[in-house]
Amino acid sequence: MTSLQPTTAPARPFLDWPVITDPVGWNADIALLGIQHSEPYAHDPFPNDQSRAPDAIRAKSESFCYNPAHWDFDTGSDLASSLPPRHIDIGNVGWSGKGDYGNYAAAITARVRHFWRQGAQIVVLGGDHGVTIPVVDALDAVGEPVHILHIDAHLDWREEVGGVRRGYSNPLQWASKIKAVSGMTQIGLRAIGSARRQEIEAARSYGSHLFSAEQIHADGMDAVLATIPRGCAVYLTIDADGLDPTEMPAVMAPTPGGIYFRQLAPLLRKVARSNRIVGMDIVEVAPSFDFANGLTCIMAGRLILNVLSASWNQGSTVWRSTRN
């Protein structure tokens, strides 16, 4: 078994959370972790822009949560009294790009497994979408079946690209092979990505529920919600390009026609109140393009806070009942 290694302290913490990089102190109800790299494809630069996102999102903390004691109208609560006392920022895990990617990935999986064994909720700041892979590899530690809710313009169902299986085009295909994953809902799909006819057919034959962004604009989120078994544990993976680029412009693949915050935030709060969201990631934020007041990082922060607050505040019992 891999022994837990310390992480690297971020430039500043997420909100005002305690930063604990030493595994000795890793006891938490909520643990936030930056994961900077996935397995790189030969055609991409290393490190990529998304590897800077964990600290770029943290740096906007005051913009997405001016004061945790103040009222949050999104969630009808204040964050400070909603969250359980033990919420920590455990820093970042990075990789030099040299040596064995598998060792780096295994160390991430061990860290996440540690927190899931404690019954904690995990929040991951990516990184590109490949960072989801070592996280979902730890889902066995949740101890019950987990449904994956995926927001993305793209299907991300490639088995391999140029021989690489753990990059940003692979995460949902990878997750579909994991025993603890009991089902999948993928929303926001549109335009053209790495998926071909064979990947669409593979996702459908697996039983993944696919919703294009257009379907959601026409029919709303009720049909999406109906595909998530009530009471089932959920892992949430948000690719920033699933949102409309007018709201999350700083992504590598800006794609018109995306999901809006006003559609996604209420869906996530509903899921968080009826299902235990055991973990979430937000990936593919590209800070170099975040010209408009850091809007993309602010959106990322607001989505996280909507999930955390709805998961833990007084109106919700799914997490508090596991703690009482």
CB atoms within 10 A of CB 79: 21
Give the nearest distance from C-beta 273 to Mn ion in angstroms. Answer: 26
Q: For residues 22 and 44, which CB has a smaller minimum distance to Mn ion in the complex?
A: 44
**Residue 281 touching Mn ion (CB under 5 A):** no
Give the nearest distance from C-beta 116 to Mn ion in angstroms. Answer: 23
Which range, of 38-46, 47-55, 127-135, 290-298, touches Mn ion by CB under 5 A? 127-135
**Residue from 39, 199, 239, 247 that binds Mn ion (CB under 5 A)?**
239
309 touches 151 (CB < 8 A): no
Give the nearest distance from C-beta 122 to Mn ion in angstroms. Answer: 18
**Residue 89 touching Mn ion (CB under 5 A):** no
Secondary structure (3-state) at 184: strand
Query: What does the block give as tokens for 162?
Result: 């140029």
Could you tell me which of 118, 128, 113 has the C-alpha nearest to residue 171? 128
In single-letter form, the type of residue at position 81 comes to S
Q: For residues 239 and 247, which CB has a smaller minimum distance to Mn ion in the complex?
A: 239
Q: For residues 28 and 123, which CB has a smaller minimum distance to Mn ion in the complex?
A: 123
Q: For residues 156 and 247, which CB has a smaller minimum distance to Mn ion in the complex?
A: 156
**Residue from 114, 129, 147, 166 that binds Mn ion (CB under 5 A)?**
129
Integer angstrom CA distances of residue 220 from 151, 152, 217:
14, 16, 6
Which range, of 77-85, 224-232, 233-241, 291-299, touches Mn ion by CB under 5 A? 233-241
Could you tell me which of 26, 30, 92 has the C-alpha nearest to residue 307? 30
**Residue 156 touching Mn ion (CB under 5 A):** yes
Give the nearest distance from C-beta 152 to Mn ion in angstroms. Answer: 4
Q: Chain centroid to CA 90: how far?
A: 16
Q: For residues 37 and 154, which CB has a smaller minimum distance to Mn ion in the complex?
A: 154
Integer angstrom CA distances of residue 308 from 31, 41, 123, 277, 303:
11, 33, 9, 9, 9
**Residue 199 touching Mn ion (CB under 5 A):** no
Q: For residues 85 and 162, which CB has a smaller minimum distance to Mn ion in the complex?
A: 162
Which range, of 129-137, 213-221, 248-256, 302-310, touches Mn ion by CB under 5 A? 129-137
Give the nearest distance from C-beta 292 to Mn ion in angstroms. Answer: 22
- Cis amide bond preceding 91, omega within 30: no
Q: For residues 29 and 156, which CB has a smaller minimum distance to Mn ion in the complex?
A: 156
Q: 15: which residues sit within 8 A by CB, 6+ positions away?
A: 61, 65, 68, 79
Give the nearest distance from C-beta 168 to Mn ion in angstroms. Answer: 6
Could you tell me which of 226, 206, 207 has the C-alpha nearest to residue 215? 226
Which range, of 2-10, 65-73, 91-99, 151-159, touches Mn ion by CB under 5 A? 151-159
The H-or-E segment that residue 263 falls in is: helix 261-274
**Residue 152 touching Mn ion (CB under 5 A):** yes
Query: What does the block give as tokens for 238?
Result: 């948000």
Integer angstrom CA distances of residue 35 from 15, 97, 120, 274, 282:
18, 13, 18, 28, 10
Q: For residues 239 and 281, which CB has a smaller minimum distance to Mn ion in the complex?
A: 239
Could you tell me which of 119, 238, 243, 231 has the C-alpha nearest to residue 190? 243
Point out which residues bind Mn ion (CB under 5 A): 129, 152, 154, 156, 239
